[in-house]
Amino acid sequence: MAKTKTAPHREECYTCFRVKRNCLCDSVRPFATRMRFVILMHTKEARKQRTGTARLAGMCLKNAELFIGTEFAHDERVNALLRAPAYAPFVLYPGPKAVNFKEMDRAALPAGKTPLVFVIDGTWNTARTLLNKSPNVKALPRLSFARNYLSRFAIKRQPKAHCVSTIEAVYHLCREAEEGGHEKLGAAPEVLMEILGKLVDIQLRHSRQHHHRREDNKKIRRA
C-alpha cells in the first residue's frame, strides 16, 4: 500500500514566530529608551496575528515587556510596575483629555519620573474590551500623538485613516518624545519602520505569488 504524502513541515522561528525563510530577527537592532514600554497584547491578537507588529516592536525595545491576556486587573507584574514610585504611568490611547509629549508639563510628568507607557495591541474592539476589563490601566492618564499619521501597513486595512499599527505607534511616540525633549534617540527608532517595510514587502510578494488580491478578502469587502 502506497504511503500518503504529507505536506513538508514549515520550520518556524520561535522568536518572531514567522516561517524561518521569512524570519525578521536578523533585522532587529534593539535600542534603549528612557521611557519604559509595557505592551498588552489581547489573546485573540496573539492567536490570529502571530506575526503581528507588537512582537517585532517589543524585540526592538530594550526597555519593554510584553504580556498576553484579556484582562490585567489582577496581574502581579503589571500592578507592581504601576505601584513603582520611579514611574509616571500612561496608557497610549486616544481621548479628549489625552496629552502628548510635545505639550506635556511637570504636572503630567513630574521631574525625575520615568514615563511608563502601556501600549494596547489588538483590534479596536479587542483593545477596548481589554481596557474595560483592566480598570487599573484604564484609569491611567491617556497619552496620544500631537498630530495624525497615515499608516504604512499596506497589507492591513485600518478602521480609520489616522489609525496606525502598534510598531508605527511606538515609532511615532519615540519621535514625538524626542521632539518634546524627553528622549535622545537619534536614528535608532528607524529600525521599527525598516522592519515594518520588510514585513509588508514579504507579505505583498507572497500575495503576488499566490495571486491573492487585497480586495478578494471577504472580511475587507464586508468592512
With a cut of 70, list the residues of the chain below it in pLDDT. Answer: 1-10, 14-18, 21-22, 49-51, 154-162, 206-223
Q: Where are the domains of the chain?
A: 27-222
What is the model's pLDDT at position 91?
98
What is the model's pLDDT at position 151?
83
What is the model's pLDDT at position 65?
97
Q: Over the stretch 119-136, which tens digit does the pLDDT of each residue have?
A: 999 888 999 999 999 999
What is the model's pLDDT at position 120?
96
What is the model's pLDDT at position 12?
72
What is the model's pLDDT at position 51?
57
What is the model's pLDDT at position 190?
97
User: At 66, is the secondary structure helix, strand, or coil?
Assistant: strand
User: At 21, is the secondary structure helix, strand, or coil?
Assistant: helix
C-alpha cell read off for 51: 506575526
Q: In what order do the strands lie in the sheet with 87-92?
A: 64-69, 36-42, 114-121, 87-92, 142-143
Rounded Cα distance between 217 and 213, Å, is 7
